[in-house]
Amino acid sequence: MDIGFVLAQSITQALGVTAIIYCLAAIGLNIQFGYTGLLNFGQVAFVTVGAYSIGVVVVTMGLSLWLAIPVALLASVVLALILGIPTLRLRADYLAIVTIAASELLRLVVRSIALRDIFGGVNGINGKIGAQFHALNPLPEDFVTPYLTFSRQDAWVVFVGWVLIAIVSFGVWLLVRSPWGRVVRGIREDEYAVVSLGKNVFVYKMQALILGGMVGALGGIIWAIAKQSVQPDTFVPDVTFFTYTILLLGGAARIFGPIVGAILFWFLLAGVGEFLSQAIQAGWIDFLKPTDVGPIRFILVGMGLMSLMIFRPQGIFGDKRELALDGR
């Protein structure tokens, strides 16, 4: 058993590309769900739109990545409008139903045989999707330290990714402490009260949905660039649920909630998985096979999260006082 290796693997995962993608998805969800109270159960759809827009523009159409990024953001705005216009005037649960359905619909459309020429069917889009980005990589070689190891390419993505997260978080911080933020937090509590004070609640909810969707799409953009491949069946509803888990773990309606949540979630998931693998190899655990590790780590992490919800329901950063007021 090499505890140092387990730790190194976990830290690398916690700060790696996947954590960054989920962190961005969770920041977006925090705007929508955490601050505004919108039950978006299809955050993966925005990630999908971000990733596929990059893939289609760069590989299918053969155009520049720098054109693809604004196209991806624009596409996420369009998706938000399509989801929001029919549902945001209705009760909160309609948005939940429509978003989860739309996210699956989107996955089925991009993997369909009929549209294979555009989206690549079940194989998705592969190729030098992020070449223009990686060409700018200033790093001379792979990033290797005892506890943190990235390939040269990943290190560049990770660096840009965390800078991006810092910028986006700063923007969200500015927003939520402004009068705009006050209105959306009011909507989260009781939209009729906010209406009675002369605010156009529909517009605010739409703005929050669009903004959160665009941040989610940033996650998809990084996904496409970092992995140089966009596969339809990775964009399953699980992505949305992990995103919710991350947000609740870190604390909803907190600027650092999604960041801490993403880091911790991937640290735990990787750590538990690696630990189990090593323990099986070392013969400490004989009732499990190496192939069981994948599902078992989710069970263990899930149980950990359940106890978190029981003992610290507001998440790591949340304010207990805010939660205590709920039922009144």
C-alpha 108/C-alpha 104 separation (Å) is 6
In the bound state with another protein, the residue whose beta carbon lies nearer, of 88 and 269, is 88
Check: CB of residue 110 under 8 Å from CB of residue 232: yes
- E strand intervals along 49-133: 125-126
Which one among 97, 149, 159, 199 touches another protein, defined by CB under 8 A?
199
CA angle 215, 177, 245 (to 5 degrees): 45
Which residues does residue 229 pair with via DSSP β-bridges, in sequence order? 126
**Kind plus residue range of the DSSP H or E element containing 282:** none
Which residues does residue 220 pair with via DSSP β-bridges, in sequence order? none
In the bound state with another protein, the residue whose beta carbon lies nearer, of 152 and 182, is 182
Check: CB of residue 47 under 8 Å from CB of residue 223: yes
- How near is the Cβ of 214 to another protein at its closest, in Å? 12
Which one among 36, 48, 207, 229 touches another protein, defined by CB under 8 A?
207
Q: Binding-site residue total for another protein (CB under 8 A)?
A: 31
Check binding of 326 to another protein (CB under 8 A).
yes
Query: Is residue 192 classed exposed, middle or buried when 0-12, 13-18 and 19+ CB atoms within 10 A define those classes?
Result: exposed
- Name the one range near another protein by CB under 8 A: 93-101, 111-119, 138-146, 168-176: 168-176
User: C-alpha distances in angstroms, 160 versus 17, 67, 73, 107, 279?
Assistant: 10, 18, 18, 28, 35
The 10 Å Cβ neighbour count of residue 149 is: 16
Which one among 180, 236, 296, 312 touches another protein, defined by CB under 8 A?
180
Report the half-sphere exposure of 97 (CA within 13 A, side-chain side). 8
Check binding of 195 to another protein (CB under 8 A).
yes
Which one among 63, 144, 174, 299 touches another protein, defined by CB under 8 A?
174
What x/- string results for residues 293 through 312 when contact with another protein is judged by CB under 8 A? --------------------
- How near is the Cβ of 45 to another protein at its closest, in Å? 22
In the bound state with another protein, the residue whose beta carbon lies nearer, of 202 and 241, is 202
In the bound state with another protein, the residue whose beta carbon lies nearer, of 192 and 311, is 192
Which one among 49, 56, 183, 260 touches another protein, defined by CB under 8 A?
183
Check binding of 320 to another protein (CB under 8 A).
no
- E strand intervals along 215-267: 229-230
Check binding of 77 to another protein (CB under 8 A).
no
- How near is the Cβ of 201 to another protein at its closest, in Å? 7
Check binding of 239 to another protein (CB under 8 A).
no
Check binding of 85 to another protein (CB under 8 A).
no
**Kind plus residue range of the DSSP H or E element containing 104:** helix 92-110
Return the axis-axis angle of helices 152-176 and 17-29, rounded to nearest 10°: 20
- How near is the Cβ of 253 to another protein at its closest, in Å? 8
C-alpha 290/C-alpha 96 separation (Å) is 37
Tell which positions 7-26 bind another protein, by CB under 8 A.
none
Largest interatomic CA distance in the chain: 67
- How near is the Cβ of 307 to another protein at its closest, in Å? 24
**What is the contact surface with another protein in residues (CB under 8 A)?**
171, 174-175, 178-183, 185-186, 188-190, 192-201, 207, 211, 321-322, 325-326, 328
